[in-house]
Amino acid sequence: MGKEDFQKVKVWAVVGATADEEKYGYKVFAHLIQKGYTVYPISLKYDFIGERKAYTSLYELPEKPDAVNLIVNPKAGMEAIQDCARLGIQKVWIQPGAESPEILEYAEQNGIEAVQGCVLREWP
């Protein structure tokens, strides 16, 4: 399994999505939408990002995402990957700045395929 497998999924959640168009939390969210995916923003700060309703956790989503993109600090990322394990989400993409050895170890121990890198650079 590799990063190319993530391109085949249909539904994403972006943990750390933001309405601030200058930040990567917005750029990655918008990029995935532009690529044709169904994308749910997860944000503690915003009720809407663009015209899309934002959710405060993965548990609130109307459907289970096929993959989750983490754009948060490692502490919040650890909480999010634990939620992924509980919800049976098996693909997590970790953006630069969100990675940590603990997150990768947790993913491996819980059968989650976790990859690191920047979606913006790797999927032009």
What is d(CA 33, CA 64) in angstroms, rounded to the nearest whole number? 17
Per residue in 12-41, pLDDT (tens digit) is: 999 999 999 999 999 999 999 999 999 999
Which of 40, 91, 37 lies closest to 63, judged by CA? 40
Per residue in 65-123, pLDDT (tens digit) is: 999 999 999 999 999 999 999 999 999 999 999 999 999 999 999 999 999 999 999 98
CATH code that applies to domain 3-63+79-122:
3.40.50.720
What is d(CA 59, CA 113) in angstroms, rounded to the nearest whole number? 20
Q: For the chain, give every domain's residue range.
A: 3-63+79-122
Q: DSSP assignment, residue 55?
A: B
Task: Give me 32's structure tokens.
Answer: 């995935």
List CB contacts of 124: < 8 A, sequence separation 6 or more. Answer: none
